[in-house]
Amino acid sequence: MIKVLVVDDSVFMRKLLTDLFAGETDFTVVDTARNGKDAIDKVKRFKPDLITMDVEMPVMDGIKALELIMKEAPTPVVMISSLTQAGAVATLRALEIGAVDFVAKTAGPISNITAIRTEILTKCRAAVRANVLQLATGRATAGALPAMPKMHSQPGLALDERIVAIGTSTGGPRALQEIITKIPGNIPCGIVIVQHMPPGFTKSLAERLDSLSSVTVKEAEHNDVIRPGYVFIAPGDYHMLIEREGGKTVIKLNQNPPIGGHRPAVDPLMESVARTYGSKAIGVILTGMGRDGAKGIEAIKRQNGYTIAEDQSTAVVYGMPKAAIELGVVDKIVPITGVTAEILKVLS
């Protein structure tokens, strides 16, 4: 049984979540808490396997409580809050501190939890298997990185230009911060990323990474031109593909049906990268649950591109990297601290 502590200042919300878990055979709610301070006391008393945490609460908010819990008693936490959808910045902060994942409530009455019931249960089951100590301790700084040669290519014009495609899900925001913030501004290629996130959150993620990085990071827009020194993150609820058009390489967005429950999905991006760049493509698969990205990495490998997977030792959830590795199509398996160095070594 997965022992759950439900933390929310709303009596109604605590009841909804408690009933949700009570209807499952593998969950048991050990108690509820009405604010962050109450939560910290009950974490020490009940030692839950999992915590669902609201963001905005009286006495002590969810962000401060999460910070203290990860320092004193690291426990898997899934953020579930009426603020999460509008407060994407707060959600990203929670993920940076150590929350495993989050669920954004749908628009409308707070009681509309039935619309996200499956998502809550799926993410909570994945969270209890997460590498929570990795989230609590953070990541060490990697050693010196290879120097980049001077760029000569024009935006989207050089047909021999390289590209890096990255796919990730649960634990991805922290992993991406570890990688992207170490990339030099003169990297001689563009980078495209699919991070499983709903609308609104991908824009906040791009803005956060842009503020911390030497490269330019933005949420991708339809017909954006791939260019060196730019990182494009697929917007929530849109698949992102790469195509040649008029001598340039451009981004194409669509709302085709979700793949494996995901939109954006990693596989279609990487498959389009394999078609467009062939052996010049570098595919990277990071932490996340499920198998999204394995077929895409395989497509890049079939075109003699270079493929990298995050090592189990640092992956918050080892599903996506494991699926790609099991296909036998990964050239290099490295901890997250070594991913940037491996990318730059191949490029240089």
In contact, 239 and 268? CB cutoff 8 Å: yes
Choose the catalytic residue: 31, 38, 49, 169: 169
How many CA atoms, within 13 angstroms, populate the side-chain half-sphere of residue 322?
11
C-alpha 85/C-alpha 110 separation (Å) is 12
DSSP summary character for residue 34: S
- In sequence order, the 6+-apart residues with CB closer than 8 A to the CB of 76 are 49, 50, 51, 100, 127, 128, 130, 132
Of 31, 54, 196, 267, the active-site residue reads: 196
* Alpha-helical segments (H) within the chain: 11-22, 36-46, 62-72, 88-97, 117-127, 132-137, 172-180, 201-212, 266-277, 294-302, 319-326, 339-347
Which amino acid does the sequence have at 312?
A: Q
R_g over Cα of the chain:
20
Active site residue 10: no
* Catalytic choice (49, 54, 267, 292): 292
- Give me 238's structure tokens: 């849109």
Q: How far apart are the first and last CA of the chain?
A: 50
Answer yes or no: 237 catalytic: no
- DSSP notation for 180-240: HTTS-TT-SSEEEEEE---TTHHHHHHHHHHHH-SSEEEE--TTPBP-TTEEEEPPTT-EE
Nearest in space to 44 (alpha carbons), one of 8, 12, 72? 72
Task: Examine the residue annotation and report whether 61 is marked as an active-site residue of this protein.
Answer: no
Count other Cβ atoms within 10 Å, centred on residue 171: 29
8 Å CB contact between 317 and 292:
no
- Cα-Cα-Cα-Cα torsion 105, 195, 100, 314, nearest 10 degrees, comes to 180
86: tokens are 């509008």
Which residues are the active-site residues? 169, 196, 292
